[in-house]
Amino acid sequence: MNAPQAKKGPPSLGELVGVTTFVIGLISAWLYVTGWTYAYHYFDRFGIPLLMVDIPKETYFVYGGIVVQQFSIWALAIGVVGVFSLILWRRFGAKWHWVGATEHWPKAAVGIFMFVVLAAIFWIGRHAAITAAHQQYVEQRDTDYSAYPRVQVWLKQDTKPRDSSPDLSADLTTGCYRLLLHNQNRLFLLRPVKGTPAASLPLLTLPWDRIELMRVMPDYSSCK
């Protein structure tokens, strides 16, 4: 006679903590990767490599949240995929701990299944981030880059242009350039023209050590 099977009890506190930690880590990794993808493709539309942007790493989580907010249906799809996979896992006798075979599936099948689910979740996040970045760029272009203010920049007196380089000292003080981005090392200035793709616009990168004074103006329109 077969020995009676022991009834499964509720998961222990340690198992619940392990599952919660895994879920939080997965969400954090997804937000970071999605935010990084969003930033890469958005600034690429302006012709700026992401390595030059040098934004704080925690900002990628914010960008990931923007993608979720902009594509709540995609986020819902990810949640459905995750819940459905968990239901299937439990349905076929998976135990709460991560190491060990299930009652009906071998270890390899469980590993392949979880890999496919995770790959699908990150694939959806990647495409949502790319779409969100391109839509945000188009929105800025169509609204005359309304998120970026005009700036006036005065260069230091001892700053001289290199040979064959144009002298932009006078042009920078007119207030026609727009502050696209700044970090600890440099400014990224844009001089937009309505209807022109950003990659074709004059994009100026200035190191802080060349700047004497900068004035941010309360004006978010292009010069006529």
Confidence (pTM): 0.77
Class of residue 117 by CB neighbours under 10 A (exposed 0-12, middle 13-18, buried 19+): middle
Q: Return mean pLDDT, the chain.
A: 78
Q: What is the pLDDT of residue 104?
A: 53
Q: Around Cβ 84, how many Cβ atoms within 10 Å?
A: 11
Q: What is the mean pLDDT of residues 77-95?
A: 60
> Between residues 97 and 183, which one has the greater pLDDT?
183
Q: Which residue has the tokens 């599952």?
A: 19
Among 64-68, 94-98, 191-195, 197-201, name the most confident range.
64-68
Segments making up each domain of the chain, as ranges: 13-142, 150-216
Q: What is the pLDDT of residue 84?
A: 64
Asked whether the predicted pLDDT for residue 97 surpasses 50, the reply is: no
> Between residues 203 and 106, which one has the greater pLDDT?
203
Decide: 208 and 186 in contact? Cβ < 8 Å.
yes
Class of residue 38 by CB neighbours under 10 A (exposed 0-12, middle 13-18, buried 19+): buried
Q: What is the pLDDT of residue 75?
A: 67
Q: Give the DSSP H/E element, type plus range, for residue 123.
A: helix 107-142
Q: What is the pLDDT of residue 38?
A: 96
Q: What is the pLDDT of residue 15?
A: 62
Torsion (CA) 42, 43, 46, 52 in degrees, nearest 10: -170
Q: What is the pLDDT of residue 10?
A: 62
Q: What is the pLDDT of residue 169?
A: 72
Asked whether the predicted pLDDT for residue 9 surpasses 60, the reply is: no
Q: What is the pLDDT of residue 1?
A: 47
Asked whether the predicted pLDDT for residue 5 surpasses 80, the reply is: no
Asked whether the predicted pLDDT for residue 181 surpasses 70, the reply is: yes
Q: What is the mean pLDDT of residues 2-14?
A: 57
pLDDT in tens, 50-82: 988 888 899 999 999 999 888 777 666 666 666
> Between residues 93 and 130, which one has the greater pLDDT?
130
> Between residues 22 and 204, which one has the greater pLDDT?
204
> Between residues 103 and 184, which one has the greater pLDDT?
184
Q: Residue 202 has what DSSP assignment?
A: -
